[in-house]
């Protein structure tokens, strides 16, 4: 009881449920034990905060969050809530970050970082007008702060652009970027030393393209646009839920988030074999953003999809969206390597990506997870209109954003969209829909994968040492057509050129 409510609850839970404490739980308790004899609540809170700051600086955000929580339990303050909000932002838990920013400002409405934290979380969730209000307040509080002015100015531009686009949209559907392109007019200069694309994608072209990418060179924009135009046609014809049939004895591989880590993507093919008719793959969303080789990653995947349309599959993730691409680097990277026009085409064709896949009628694969609403069926999913930017509610939102958690029932998502769903939800949904288990991605895991809900849900994440800082392994799942039991292969990161993650991200994510 001297340690405070968090270790006490962990101890009670262990006694009642027989739960083994995790390594992090043990580490948290060791930190807190060092301050048992500190009687003054504020002094104890400050000492715990200092240790939390150390973990934060070393990018151990989960530990930092636990310790900030313990410090808040001892003596809450605006700074503590602000610091924990920042840690939640690093974990992309925008709902929790918003709540903590609100708590910080409720304690001290002059706490400038609280407005920055709240604005950043709202930006990530596409709530630009709310973010703008907070940037404006921050600018007023710090009129001589150049960073405050820059963030306010950039956010203002985004809001004005959105308002302008709405004003000119009218009732007519916006014309496709494809209608503005004329590939015949795009000359391939004699100085171009990359692979040349003929009428169709060939394996030789893909192999040469990958080697070209490894040397940090681009394919010619004519060939890049040709790939995008062709892949758009393919995805336009796909359903929202794609059925996959894996014959008895045949292997099938499922990968999770890659996030622009091109060199790790290539390593997956080195470890598990290149995609082929005998070696099919499904990549489960979040192909781009954060990693600074997203262009190379997405063109490699699209090329394989064109080569092997019935043996290479791609599900949309929450990062295949306009808002995320603007914030987390993909738009900036495409503009840097190609053009704003190509950004528009990517935004358009990402809307056509399928939301989920069903393997042999038994394995359901989506990026996020299950549903806030009870009773959603496979047929409901099939009928869902996916050709749009992700909404804040509904089936499409949940498929892209939701997460499993350990308690029964449903709870609001720490991300600010989607929901958290418990073991009873997974059990019922799988039984009602005749599904053995759900494979999803969306979360970093230490070994690259994790089992949830007594085997009804599995997470797979395929970006090792995520953002060059998380220290996690990546993983992929293999199954057989006549044996759907998942097998997991974990792997470590491989070297890549010294371009840091988020190199092309919005300056609005220069956190304060």
Active site residues: 319
| Of 134, 68, 153, 260, nearest in space to 512 by CA | 134
Asked if 332 and 294 count as a contact pair (C-beta separation under 8 A), the reply is no
Place of tokens 């990161």: 493
| Of 54, 59, 4, nearest in space to 29 by CA | 4
Asked if 290 and 329 count as a contact pair (C-beta separation under 8 A), the reply is yes
Question: Strands 474-480, 483-491: parallel, antiparallel or unpaired by DSSP?
Answer: antiparallel
Which helix or strand (DSSP H or E) is residue 312 part of?
Answer: strand 312-314
| Of 369, 437, 375, 373, nearest in space to 400 by CA | 369
Which helix or strand (DSSP H or E) is residue 477 part of?
Answer: strand 474-480
| Angstrom distances, CA of residue 65 to CA of 38, 48, 85, 288 | 21, 11, 9, 27
Question: Strands 363-366, 457-460: parallel, antiparallel or unpaired by DSSP?
Answer: unpaired
User: How many other CB atoms are there within 10 angstroms of residue 169's CB atom?
Assistant: 10
Asked if 321 and 203 count as a contact pair (C-beta separation under 8 A), the reply is no
Asked if 477 and 440 count as a contact pair (C-beta separation under 8 A), the reply is no
Maximum CA extent, the chain: 77
CA–CA gap between residue 476 and residue 485 (Å, rounded): 13
Distance of CA 29 to the CA centre of its chain: 31
- Order of strands across the sheet that contains 410-412: 403-404, 419-421, 410-412
CA–CA gap between residue 107 and residue 18 (Å, rounded): 38
Which helix or strand (DSSP H or E) is residue 27 part of?
Answer: helix 23-33
Contacts of 216 (CB under 8 A, 6+ apart): 497
Alpha helices in 175-317 (DSSP H): 203-214, 221-236, 262-272, 294-307
- Look at the alpha carbons of 101, 105, 111, 116 in this order and tell me if their dihedral is positive or negative: positive
CA–CA gap between residue 60 and residue 31 (Å, rounded): 14
């Amino acid at each position: 009881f001297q340690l405070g409510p968090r270790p006490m609850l962990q101890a009670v839970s262990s006694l009642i449920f027989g739960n083994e404490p995790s390594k992090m739980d043990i580490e948290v308790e060791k930190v807190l034990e060092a301050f048992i004899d500190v009687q003054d609540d504020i002094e104890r809170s400050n000492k715990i905060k200092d240790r939390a700051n150390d973990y934060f600086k070393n990018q151990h955000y989960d530990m930092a969050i636990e310790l900030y929580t313990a410090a808040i339990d001892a003596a809450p303050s605006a700074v503590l809530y602000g610091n924990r909000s920042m840690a939640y932002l690093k974990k992309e838990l925008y709902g929790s970050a918003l709540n903590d920013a609100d708590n910080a400002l409720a304690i001290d409405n002059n706490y400038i970082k609280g407005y920055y934290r709240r604005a950043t979380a709202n930006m990530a969730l596409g709530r630009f007008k709310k973010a703008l209000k907070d940037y404006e307040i921050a600018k007023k509080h710090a009129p001589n702060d150049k960073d405050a002015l820059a963030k306010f100015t950039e956010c203002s531009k985004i809001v004005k652009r959105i308002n302008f686009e709405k004003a000119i949209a009218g009732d007519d559907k916006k014309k496709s970027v494809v209608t503005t392109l004329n590939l015949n007019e795009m000359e391939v200069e004699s100085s171009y030393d990359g692979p040349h694309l003929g009428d169709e994608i060939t394996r030789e072209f893909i192999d040469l393209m990958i080697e070209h990418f490894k040397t940090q060179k681009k394919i010619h924009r004519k060939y890049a646009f040709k790939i995008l135009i062709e892949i758009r046609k393919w995805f336009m014809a796909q359903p929202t839920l794609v059925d996959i049939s894996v014959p008895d004895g045949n292997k099938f591989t499922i990968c999770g988030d890659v996030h622009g880590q091109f060199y790790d993507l290539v390593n997956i093919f080195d470890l598990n074999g290149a995609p082929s008719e005998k070696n099919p793959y499904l990549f489960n969303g979040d192909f781009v953003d954060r990693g600074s080789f997203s262009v190379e990653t997405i063109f490699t995947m699209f090329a394989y999809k064109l080569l092997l349309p019935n043996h290479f599959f791609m599900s949309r993730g929450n990062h295949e969206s306009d808002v995320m691409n603007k914030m987390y680097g993909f738009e900036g990277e495409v503009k840097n390597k190609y053009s704003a026009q190509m950004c528009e085409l990517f935004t358009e064709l990402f809307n056509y990506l399928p939301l989920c896949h069903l393997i042999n009628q038994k394995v359901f694969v989506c990026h996020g997870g299950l549903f806030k609403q009870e009773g959603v069926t496979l047929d409901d999913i099939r009928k869902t209109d996916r050709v749009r930017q992700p909404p804040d509610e509904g089936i499409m939102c949940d498929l892209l954003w939701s997460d499993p958690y350990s308690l029964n029932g449903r709870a609001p998502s720490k991300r600010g969209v989607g929901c958290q769903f418990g073991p009873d939800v997974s059990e019922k949904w799988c039984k009602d829909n005749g599904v053995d288990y759900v494979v999803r991605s969306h979360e970093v895991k230490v070994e690259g994968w994790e089992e949830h809900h007594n085997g009804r849900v599995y997470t797979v994440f395929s970006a090792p040492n995520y953002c060059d800082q998380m220290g996690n392994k990546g993983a992929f799942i293999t199954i057989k057509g006549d044996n759907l039991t998942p097998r997991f292969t974990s792997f470590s990161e491989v070297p890549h050129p010294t371009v840091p993650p988020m190199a092309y991200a919005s300056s609005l994510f220069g956190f304060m």
